[in-house]
Structure 1
Amino acid sequence: MGRRRLPLEKVLLGFLMQGPLHGYDLHRRVETELGNVWRMGMGYIYNTLKELERGGQVESVVLPQENRPPRKVYRITPAGQRSFLDWVRQPVDAVRDMRVEFPAKLYFFHLLDLDGVSRLISAQETACRRRLERLEKSAERYGPHDFDRLVFDFRRRQIEAVLDWLADCRETWAAWRAAAQKDNLREAQMEWKTDTPS
């Protein structure tokens, strides 16, 4: 079994799904678009790109520039596309990954206008409920005055908060979709009115 791929690799692949970029552009996009979730230095991003290239998920080409040093541009390969799409559609494994990895997945569903966000949210809710069930079973062995009861209660509340947040995500996403459909309908009506002869 290989090592677990870092979510940053998937984030870089997600940005490359929109088209080729060089390392600095990728760094800038991570900082500006996901800065509330991620903080990554340029060196880490370039090392990650090298690893992705060695793994066949991205390709690079060096482009000459007038009066400037050549620029290395990265583009995603079909293997990288499959890897990204497999990742973005799967729920995260651990509650701790809800803080960074899951919001990144939601972001890419929005950015790339991917279908299936409801399935992702449902799968994540199911994973959280299963985790909560396992946690509650293990807590049966704790007495009301055991220290571990405090730890259990903290973990239980974390999972419950995640479930509440996921319900909010579902509602927010549905509202965004409804607003986008209304906007598209208005645009289509406006186009029809301007294209229709008087």
Structure 2
Amino acid sequence: MHGYEIARRFAADLDLGLVLPLDMSSVYALLKDLQEQGLIEGHRETVGLRPPRTVFHLTPDAEAVLRQWLEEPVGRLREVRSDLLLKLYFCRAIGDACTARLLDAQIVASSAYLDRLRRLASECPPGSFERLVRESKIG
């Protein structure tokens, strides 16, 4: 994919932009950083009479990093709305098995998180502000 196409996916009303809206300059800055880290490579391509553009692809190292990231469940509830949705977006491109593994791992992690919150709340004095805060995180 070329930079403009990637940036379009992060537009506020499309695909990734629904979760993480980024403007064009932010996307190009991230692409530069990823290139410097050796996680993506780019090659120039000319199509017809249009100006040349750089097409990017993941390096083998980046593919390994991405797969590892996709297998790790989100640790905190507030990250579900961003990180988990991003992971599901990329899992969808890989296939159903990736999505199933991620969701299974997320259920286990979320259950453990909920158990921990319940335990911490039960250790607080009844009626205390701390207990109220902990119980509010349980739902």
Q: After TM superposition, is the score higher than 0.5?
A: yes
Output the aligned Cα RMSD: 1.9
Is 1:26 matched up with 2:15? no
Deviation string, structure 1 residues 29-57 (Cα, Å, up to 9, x no partner):
23322232121111111111111111111
Q: What displacement does 1:68 show?
A: 4.3
Match in the other structure for 1:116: 98
Q: What displacement does 1:64 show?
A: 4.2
Q: What displacement does 1:67 show?
A: 4.7
Match in the other structure for 1:38: 20
Is 1:74 matched up with 2:56? yes
Structure 1 gap ranges (5+):
1-20, 158-198
Match in the other structure for 2:125: 143
Q: What displacement does 1:113 show?
A: 2.1
- For residues 99 and 15 of structure 2, the distance between their equivalents in structure 1, rounded to whole angstroms, comes to 19
Is 1:100 matched up with 2:82? yes
Structure 2 gap ranges (5+):
none
Choose 1 or 2 for highest CA Rg: 1
Tell me the number of residue pairs that the alignment of Structure 1 and Structure 2 aligns: 137
Question: Helix, strand or coil for the counterpart of 1:115?
Answer: helix
Question: Helix, strand or coil for the counterpart of 2:68?
Answer: helix
Match in the other structure for 1:132: 114
Alignment CA distance shift 1:116-1:72 (3 Å): closer
Q: What displacement does 1:110 show?
A: 2.1
Contact 2:122 / 2:131 at 8 angstroms: preserved in 1? no
- For residues 91 and 132 of structure 1, the distance between their equivalents in structure 2, rounded to whole angstroms, comes to 14
